[in-house]
Amino acid sequence: DAGVIQSPRHEVTEMGQEVTLRCKPISGHNSLFWYRQTMMRGLELLIYFNNNVPIDDSGMPEDRFSAKMPNASFSTLKIQPSEPRDSAVYFCASSLPGGPETQYFGPGTRLLVL
């Protein structure tokens, strides 16, 4: 079985550009989570969806960040405009119904904003 799929795996962009990160959750999982990982702040939950509906976006740092889940098999995290301080590893994770503790993480997208 394929795990959580994220693309791209690496992204280098210039400040001010729009960045779109993509995630395909594990089939049958109904919850999807976006995390950001940095050396300074560790692993932070940005937003999570349940049945394609955003439940808690309190971790989204600011209006430059937005996330969508148009269907059960696809989600995007967009940063517009990007800034150097957005450089981080962004993880997507998905979990089974009723089992948030069983979330599986994707391999991450390493973002560098110059």
Partner 1 sequence: GQQLNQSPQSMFIQEGEDVSMNCTSSSIFNTWLWYKQEPGEGPVLLIALYKAGELTSNGRLTAQFGITRKDSFLNISASIPSDVGIYFCAGLSGNQFYFGTGTSLTVIP
Residue 76 is which amino acid? T
Q: How far is the CB of 57 from partner 1 (least distance, A)?
A: 12
Nearer to partner 1 among residue 18 and residue 44 (C-beta): 44
Query: End-to-end alpha-carbon separation of the chain, Å?
Result: 36
Write out the binding residues for partner 1, residues 92-111 only, by CB under 8 A. Answer: 93, 100-108
Distance, in Å, from the CA atom of 19 to the CA atom of 17, rounded to the nearest integer, reads 6
Q: By the 8 A CB rule, do 46 and 55 touch?
A: no
**59 near partner 1, judged by CB under 8 A:** yes
Find, among 73, 72, 77, the residue nearest to 61 by Cα: 77
Nearer to partner 1 among residue 51 and residue 80 (C-beta): 51
Contacts with partner 1 by CB under 8 A lie at: 4, 33, 42-45, 48, 50, 55-56, 58-59, 91, 93, 100-108
